[in-house]
């Protein structure tokens, strides 16, 4: 039952209740003896002492119980006020760090949990360095190219809880599984996108896929200028404002390429990934093509097309920062699986407990809507799987 009050007995500790009971018993015995035993000075004195002791014990225990109950209420109010006061005067990152130290113990790896939970370092008091999308929608469309490959057309729409103070948007494209799993946790930039292309050893296509993605990407946004005025930019080609990051600068974008290893302590050799990683940076103020300065980002739309292998049997979306995902839409009407007349699809959330999953395999002949309404942190995501139609 929500909002009910505690029972009076639960507010009084056992030792006080014991003293109250003892007082009542002593007083009752004194009164009973006085009533039935012939009068005598010694008896009267003893009985009077019992009644006095019992009354005092009962009154003391009752008053102490009432005082203790009221003090507990006030202590709870004070504790809540102190907690709120501490939380409001400390940066979110420090609050989370102290909580994790108390729960998990001291560890340098707690920082990764804090960053994933908060969507950033949380060093600023107002949370201005946190990226949190409180309304997120994802659309997939899978179009067959040939028997071996298909185009994955994805549109992502983010609405941020805080205004993001940044002027750049970064795109990571990789074919290395290790980097795919590390970039999400190793990137400290407020706005970024990850493209993963599973390369074919028989027919390498990473470079061609990346170039195709560069040509297909479209970026739109809503931003505020220095006066707080809001401006909308329709999704457009960022090619004129996109530059590729040099190999020597990779450490500025990914912690694990830094010579000191960043906070996690891990170090990867950039030379090992020269052929499997490319980093691009988009100048958002230039993309806006307006006279107003881009001070903060309120919303972001990213649409891209990637070349993928049908034989993978799945595609997925992974949250780059904390996102409350409203819904996802999967359009597989143009995906063909060889000679199969029909395909079946299934969508599952991974590394998170979410009600947003299809219970069974469903036909891919029509678009599938998946209602999630769930928070997803860095590393959480949703996978769409498919298989040929099979007769029962």
**Predicted local distance difference test score (pLDDT) of residue 196:** 83
Query: Order of strands across the sheet with 362-363?
Result: 314-318, 381-388, 343-350, 362-363
Q: Which CATH class is domain 133-388?
A: mainly beta
277-283 and 168-174 as β-strands: parallel, antiparallel, unpaired?
antiparallel
**Predicted local distance difference test score (pLDDT) of residue 6:** 45
pLDDT digits (tens, 9 = 90+) for 181-220: 778 767 778 899 888 887 767 777 788 888 888 889 999 9
The answer to whether the CB of 202 falls within 8 A of the CB of 133 is no
**Predicted local distance difference test score (pLDDT) of residue 147:** 85
**Predicted local distance difference test score (pLDDT) of residue 116:** 82
The secondary element (H helix, E strand) that includes residue 152 is strand 149-164
What are the residue ranges in the chain where pLDDT is below 50?
A: 1-10, 261-262, 264, 353-355, 392
pLDDT digits (tens, 9 = 90+) for 3-42: 444 444 445 566 656 656 665 666 566 555 556 666 566 6
Q: Write the CA distances from 141 to 155, 241, 313, 333, integer angstroms.
A: 9, 27, 15, 8
Query: What CA dihedral angle connects 312, 327, 166 and 292, to 10 degrees?
Result: 120
Please name which of 158, 207, 202, 186 lies closest in space to residue 252, comparing C-alpha atoms: 186
Longest dimension (CA), the chain: 115
Please name which of 203, 192, 190 lies closest in space to residue 161, comparing C-alpha atoms: 190
**Predicted local distance difference test score (pLDDT) of residue 139:** 95
Both tokens of 160, joined, read 């941020």
**Predicted local distance difference test score (pLDDT) of residue 3:** 42
Both tokens of 345, joined, read 């699809």
pTM above 0.85, yes or no: no
Domain locations in the chain as residue ranges:
9-89, 133-388
**Predicted local distance difference test score (pLDDT) of residue 36:** 65
């Amino acid at each position: 039952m929500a909002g009910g009050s505690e029972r009076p007995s639960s507010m009084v500790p056992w030792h006080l209740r014991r003293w109250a009971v003892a007082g009542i018993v002593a007083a009752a015995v004194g009164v009973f003896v006085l009533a039935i035993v012939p009068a005598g000075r010694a008896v009267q004195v003893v009985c009077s002492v019992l009644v006095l002791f019992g009354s005092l014990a009962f009154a003391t225990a009752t008053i102490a119980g009432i005082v203790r109950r009221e003090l507990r209420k006030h202590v709870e109010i004070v504790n809540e006020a102190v907690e709120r006061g501490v939380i409001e005067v400390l940066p979110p990152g420090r609050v989370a760090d102290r909580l994790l130290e108390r729960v998990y113990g001291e560890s340098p790896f707690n920082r990764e949990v804090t960053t994933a939970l908060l969507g950033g370092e949380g060093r600023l008091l107002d949370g201005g360095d946190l990226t949190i999308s409180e309304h997120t929608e994802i659309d997939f469309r899978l179009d067959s190219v040939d028997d071996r490959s298909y185009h994955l057309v994805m549109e992502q729409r983010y609405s941020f809880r805080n205004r993001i103070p940044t002027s750049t948007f970064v795109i990571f494209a990789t074919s290395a599984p290790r980097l795919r799993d590390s970039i999400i946790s190793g990137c400290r930039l407020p706005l970024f996108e990850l493209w993963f292309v599973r390369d074919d050893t028989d027919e390498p296509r990473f470079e061609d896929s990346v170039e195709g993605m560069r040509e297909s990407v479209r970026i739109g946004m809503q931003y505020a200028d220095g006066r707080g005025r809001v401006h909308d930019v329709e999704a457009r080609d960022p090619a004129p404002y996109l530059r590729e990051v040099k190999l020597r600068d990779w450490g500025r974008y990914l912690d694990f390429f830094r010579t000191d290893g960043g906070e996690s302590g891990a170090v990867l050799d950039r030379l090992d990934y020269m052929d499997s990683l490319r980093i691009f940076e988009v100048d958002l103020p230039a993309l806006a093509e307006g006279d107003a300065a881009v001070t903060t980002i309120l919303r972001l739309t990213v649409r891209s097309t990637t070349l993928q292998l049908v034989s993978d049997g799945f595609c997925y979306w992974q949250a780059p920062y904390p996102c409350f995902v409203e819904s996802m839409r999967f359009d597989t009407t143009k995906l063909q699986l060889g000679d199969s007349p029909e395909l079946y699809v299934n969508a599952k959330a991974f590394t998170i407990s979410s009600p947003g999953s299809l219970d069974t395999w469903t036909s891919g002949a029509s678009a599938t809507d998946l209602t999630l309404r769930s928070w997803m942190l860095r590393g959480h995501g949703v996978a769409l799987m498919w298989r040929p139609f099979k007769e029962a």
